[in-house]
Amino acid sequence: MSLLVKSHKTGLTIVDVTPQSAGWQHVGFAAYRLIPGQSVDFRDPGRECCVVVLSGFVTISAGDQTWREIGRRNSVFDPMAPFAAYVPNGPLVNITAHTAAEIALCTAPGQGHHAARLIPPDSMSRSTRGKGANTRFICDILPQSASADSLLVVEVRTPSGHSSSYPPHKHDADNLPVESYLEETYYHRLNPAQGFAFQRVYTDDRSLDEAMAVEDHDVVMVPRGYHPVCVPFGYESYYLNVMAGPKREWCFKNDPQHEWLLSLPG
DSSP state string for 169-207 = EE-EEEETTTEEE-EEEEEEEEESTT-EEEEEEE-TTSS
Alpha-carbon span 131 to 265, nearest angstrom: 8
Kindly tell me the burial class for residue 210, based on how many C-beta atoms sit within 10 Å of its own C-beta (0-12, 13-18, 19 or more): middle
SS3 65: strand
Predicted local confidence at residue 160, as pLDDT:
98
pLDDT in tens, 151-178: 999 999 999 999 999 999 999 999 999 9
Strand partners, 126: 139
Q: How many domains are there within the chain?
A: 1
Q: Could you tell me the pLDDT band of residue 265, with boundaries at 50, 70 and 90?
A: confident
Mean pLDDT, rounded, for 18-41:
98
C-alpha span between 115 and 126 (Å, rounded)? 24
Which residue type sits at 21? S
Sheet holding 229-230, edge to edge: 163-164, 229-230, 196-202, 209-215
Task: Please name the residues in contact with 116: beta carbons below 8 A apart, sequence gap of 6 or more.
Answer: 62, 63, 65, 85, 86, 87, 88, 91
Query: H or E stretch including 52?
Result: strand 47-55
How far apart CA 80 and CA 72 sit, in angstroms, is 8
Domain limits for position 154: 4-263
pLDDT tens readout for residues 57-69:
999 999 999 999 9
Q: Over the stretch 191-242, which tens digit does the pLDDT of each residue have?
A: 999 999 999 999 999 999 999 999 999 999 999 999 999 999 999 999 999 9
Nearest C-alpha neighbor of 87 from the set 47, 123, 53, 49:
49
C-beta of residue 222 within 8 angstroms of C-beta of residue 134: no
Per-residue pLDDT tens digits for 178-202: 999 999 999 999 999 999 999 999 9
Each residue of 59-115: pLDDT tens digit? Answer: 999 999 999 999 999 999 999 999 999 999 989 999 999 999 999 999 999 999 999
**Considering the entire predicted model, what is its pTM?**
0.97
CATH of the domain at 244: 2.60.120.10
- In this predicted structure, what is the pLDDT of residue 230? 98
Residue 207's contacts (CB-CB under 8 Å, 6 or more residues apart) are: none
Average pLDDT over residues 1-9: 94
